């Protein structure tokens, strides 16, 4: 599964249709916010959301950019994958 990164989205596309994506936003202090994680119903239950999250977490860790997982799925994913928590600023963290 190949993912594409743009300024505001990481996505998986097949036949010109986005089937999975993470909507991104950036804060003035250089953090990237995961606003929404979406997987098309035909791919749900196949681990696609976790795959795109792993790709995104690895990418931003390599770029040394801290992630704020605002979307409930992204937040839960980070809590379940503690090895990535160093690269995240959880929404409940103090400033």
CB atoms within 10 A of CB 13: 13
Mean pLDDT per block of 10 residues along the chain (95 residues) reads 95 95 96 97 96 97 95 95 91 65
Span 26-44, pLDDT tens digits: 999 999 999 999 999 999 9
Q: Are 53 and 77 in contact (CB under 8 A)?
A: yes
Q: Tell me, yes or no, if the pTM score tops 0.95.
A: no
- Show the tokens assigned to 25: 């936003």
Give the separation between CA 82 and CA 14, rounded to whole angstroms.
31
């Amino acid at each position: 599964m190949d993912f594409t990164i743009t300024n505001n989205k990481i996505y998986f596309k097949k036949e010109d249709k986005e089937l999975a994506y993470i909507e991104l936003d950036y804060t003035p202090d250089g953090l990237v916010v995961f606003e929404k994680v979406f997987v098309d119903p035909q791919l749900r239950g196949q681990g696609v959301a976790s795959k795109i999250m792993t790709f995104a977490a690895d990418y931003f860790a390599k770029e040394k950019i801290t992630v704020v997982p605002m979307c409930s799925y992204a937040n839960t994913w980070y809590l379940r994958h503690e090895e990535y928590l160093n690269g995240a600023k959880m929404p409940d963290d103090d400033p």
